[in-house]
Copies of this chain bind each other. A is one copy, B any other.
Amino acid sequence: MCELLGMSANVPTDICFSFAGLVQRGGGTGPHRDGWGIAFYEGRGLRAFHDPLPSADSRIAQLLVAYPIKSKVVISHIRQANVGEVSLVNTHPFSRELWGVMWCFAHNGQLDRQLFEWPLTYYRPAGTTDSEYAFCWLMDQIRSRFPGGPPEDANVLIDLVHECCEKLRALGVFNMLLSDSDRLFSYCSTKLSWITRRAPFGEAHLCDRDMSVDFYKETTPNDVVTVIATEPLTDNEEWARLSAGEMIVFADGEVARLVSTLGGAKD
């Protein structure tokens, strides 16, 4: 399995503190030694860092822990390989362009091999993971339904993404983070926790290393910053847990929409 980390904020914010906790799980406090990646949106621009080395040993990860890149949407992933060899091409997050927007995706879980029989039209995986295949399939569904651009009613798009996630969850474990540069779609199959920090800000302490931050000193009173992760990253704050089949869409740090599982059997 792998670990996911995402952020949505209403002002460009660095994720150094949370990332410092996450990278410890990549060969330090956790077994996720098979590469890591992180993607930052800056407006519509996306820059990603990928490394097939364990994050706890990675020079690039060390730089990012110390070098604040400010972003409103971040997606990160550390990998413990199941399907697909350890290599750069299989390192999350993955990205594809749709409607002139770079979409970005990371997945935690494992899906049945029958996934690889689901037809693909526009997007094809470069690597061999179930995760990238699922991402290509998901992007295909969105593009097929809305070839010219996003629907006017964002809820229609959100419902489609949720419906696709439910179909993927039927094949196994499918926790995912997805972004179109504005929104952070967070779908839970088994494990995903989140916290929104806003004024009055307090101090937070990491679970995975003895490191604290006083957000009061690091923020302004209007900042709203949501962090979402496979497991809570701090041990002195209250994180909310998503239930199986739930998807929260965050925008500007706030919950834009919560979609619950549809319940009945899916085709």
Q: Are A102's CB and B126's CB within 8 A? A: yes
Instruction: Determine which of B44, B45, B67, B89 lies in contact with A45 in the assembled complex, contact meaning CB atoms within 8 Å.
Output: B89
Q: Are A43's CB and B89's CB within 8 A? A: yes
Give the docked Cα–Cα distance between A90 and B45 (Å): 7
Q: Are B122's CB and A122's CB within 8 A? A: yes
A42 and B88 in contact, given A47-B50, A60-B67, A63-B63 (Cβ under 8 angstroms): yes
Closest to A89 in B: B45
Q: How many copies does the complex hold?
A: 2
Please tell me if A144 contacts chain B, counting CB pairs below 8 Å.
Answer: no
Give the docked Cα–Cα distance between A43 and B48 (Å): 18
Interface of A is mostly: mixed
Q: Hey, what's the 0/1 contact readout for A63-92 against B, CB within 8 Å counting as 1?
A: 100010000000000000000000111110
Q: Which of A25-52 contact B (CB under 8 A)?
A: 42-52
Looking at A48, A51, A101, which has the most chain B CB atoms within 10 Å of its CB?
A: A48
Closest to A59 in B: B67
Q: Are A47's CB and B88's CB within 8 A? A: yes
- List the B side residues contacting A122 at CB < 8 Å: 122
- List the B side residues contacting A49 at CB < 8 Å: 47, 49
User: Would you give the shortest CB distance from A121 to chain B, in whole angstroms?
Assistant: 10
- List the B side residues contacting A172 at CB < 8 Å: none
Give the docked Cα–Cα distance between A41 and B60 (Å): 17
Question: Knowing that A43-B87, A102-B126 are A-B contacts, what are 19 other residue pairs whose CB atoms are under 8 Å apart, sorted by A's residue number?
Answer: A42-B87, A43-B88, A44-B89, A45-B50, A45-B87, A45-B89, A45-B126, A46-B126, A47-B49, A47-B50, A47-B88, A59-B63, A59-B67, A60-B63, A63-B63, A96-B97, A97-B126, A99-B124, A100-B124
7 tightest CB-CB pairs across the interface, nearest first?
Answer: A45-B88, A45-B89, A100-B124, A42-B88, A47-B50, A44-B89, A44-B126
